[in-house]
Amino acid sequence: MEASTRMLLSRAGRLVPRGQPILFSSSPSACNDTSAKQYRHNHSLALAGQASRRPYLPQSSTSTRSIQPDTHSRASSHSPMAPSSPTTPPRKKVTLHTIDALYRRNEPITMITAHDFPSAHVADQNGMDMVLVGDSLAMVALGMEDTSAVLEEEMLLHCRSVARGAPTAFLVGDLPMGSYEISPAQALTTAIRFIKHGRMHAVKLEGGAAMAPTVAAVVRAGIPVLAHVGLTPQRQNALGGFRVQGRTAAAALQVLADARAVEAAGAFAVVLEAVPAEVAAYVTRRIGIPTIGIGAGAGCSGQVLVQVDMSGNFPPGRFLPKFVKKYGDVWGEASRAIAQYRDEVKSRAYPAKEHTYPMKKEEVEEFERLTALLDDAEAKAEREFPES
């Protein structure tokens, strides 16, 4: 066999899939000294003009890069949403001052949940004042039965992803059940982790008058607290499920007392969840901090919804609380796209020519010439050494 053919085989041997017979060693050390040198020479020639200048860039990315117009910035394949569109005007970072200014001029405050980088990014790009990493992610992102199962470490992982996706919104992390109720010291320890590791700007914790000393301890340490009264889902077992709160006059007065207690403790705002609209409107008028309603009517200072609920990112037939308005059909669109992809892969309609990488005609011809030699040599070897 000719030396050049052997060289070709030893290089091509790397391309033979596992389990296929490899006729010759792909390592130059298996050849004699002269062919080892020859191997290195040929090898570097094959990569000349590519590898010698840009040793670690595959040909496709080098050539793709050169045909990109200068104005076009390429998204990293690891983070396709990373570059913000140059057509979107930059927004000033939302701070507690921004929230306070909105409240003072009676402009509704917008808040939505996010649980990962893309859901945070789309919320931030579309002008949400606040983004909440709610513990509802236990149910909507982690498939858990209720919110009480989610761990602090799990919340922190999601918080960090959201922080990377939402560079301008005011970010609130939800302290999960078990991470703050034991003592104000425990709450402060957890809250500090949400700021330091979770990269949040504030924390939310459930509870009214009973949690006021805890709210105060966290606020004293310089961590803004969003309180949460009315339906507090982490206490669903004590409440007898996800039940509307403040429905009797006495219960309504309790909601007011809770809101006043957390205001006095220094909360910057309070979530009012699943309380009658009249009660929420009255509480909003009677306290001096913003109320963020969910299932609490239009009389609140702002609104919050769970993103997967309002964007319709759930399968048909799922139960929805009465307060949810479905603004989109993300599930329907994703289903349509996946079904079409499935069909096109099965029918070989995808990928089409425009989804493939071009190769120069001369290179294709040279490739065909070399592979013909390779085929001949392998056929010959198979005849000569049928067992190997």
Ligand X SMILES: Nc1nc(=O)c2c([nH]1)NC[C@@H]1CN(c3ccc(C(=O)N[C@@H](CCC(=O)O)C(=O)O)cc3)CN21
Give 251's contacts (C-beta < 8 A, 6+ positions apart): 245
* Residues near ligand X (CB under 6 A), total: 14
7 binds ligand X (CB under 6 A): no
For every residue of 313-373, DSSP letters joined together read -S-TT----TT------HHHHHHHHHHHHHHHHHTT-SS-GGGS----HHHHHHHHHHHHH
Looking at beta carbons only, is 184 or 233 nearer to ligand X? 233
Say if residues 314 and 334 touch (Cβ distance below 8 Å): no
Find the binding residues for ligand X in span 299-318 (CB under 6 A). 306, 309
Could you say which of ligand KIV, ligand X, none residue 244 binds, taking C-beta under 5 to 8 angstroms by partner kind? Answer: ligand X
Interface residue with ligand X among 165, 173, 198, 233 (CB under 6 A) is 233
CB of residue 108 vs ligand KIV: minimum separation in angstroms? 16
- In angstroms, the CA 299 to CA 277 distance is 7
Could you say which of 152, 206, 263, 273 is catalytic? 273
Residue 309 binding target from ligand KIV, ligand X, none, CB below 5 to 8 Å by type: ligand X
When CB distances are held under 5 to 8 angstroms depending on the partner's kind, the choice from ligand KIV, ligand X, none that residue 229 binds is none
Residue 381 makes CB contacts below 8 A (sequence gap 6+) with 23, 388
Binding residues for ligand KIV (CB under 6 A): 113, 132, 134-136, 174, 271, 273, 294, 304, 306
Can 273 be counted among the known catalytic residues? yes
Our CB check for ligand X shows the closer of 255 and 274 to be 274
Which one of 76-84, 215-223, 240-248, 349-357 is the stretch in contact with ligand X (CB under 6 A)? 240-248
Rounded Cα distance between 66 and 216, Å, is 58
| Closer CB to ligand KIV, 24 or 180, in the complex | 180
d(CA 215, CA 225): 7
Question: Residue 139, interface with ligand X (CB under 6 A)?
Answer: yes
What is each CA distance from 112 to 183, 265, 388, in whole angstroms? 29, 25, 65
355 binds, among ligand X, ligand KIV, none (CB under 5 to 8 A by kind): none
With a CB cutoff of 8 Å and minimum separation 6, the contacts of 81 are 75, 117, 118, 121, 165
Q: Taking CB under 6 A as the rule, does residue 99 contact ligand X?
A: no
According to DSSP, the residues that pair with 21 across neighbouring strands are none
Instruction: Quote the least distance from Cβ 150 to ligand X, whole Å.
Output: 11
Q: What is 158-190 written as a DSSP string?
A: HHHHHHHH-SSSEEEEEPPTTSSSS-HHHHHHH
Pick between residue 111 and residue 274 the one whose CB is nearest to ligand X. 274
In the list 136, 303, 307, 311, the residue contacting ligand X (rule: CB under 6 A) is 136
- Are 192 and 147 in contact by the 8 Å Cβ rule? The answer is no
Q: Which residues bind ligand X (CB under 6 A)?
A: 136, 139-140, 147, 231, 233, 242-244, 274, 306, 309, 321-322
Q: Catalytic positions, please?
A: 273
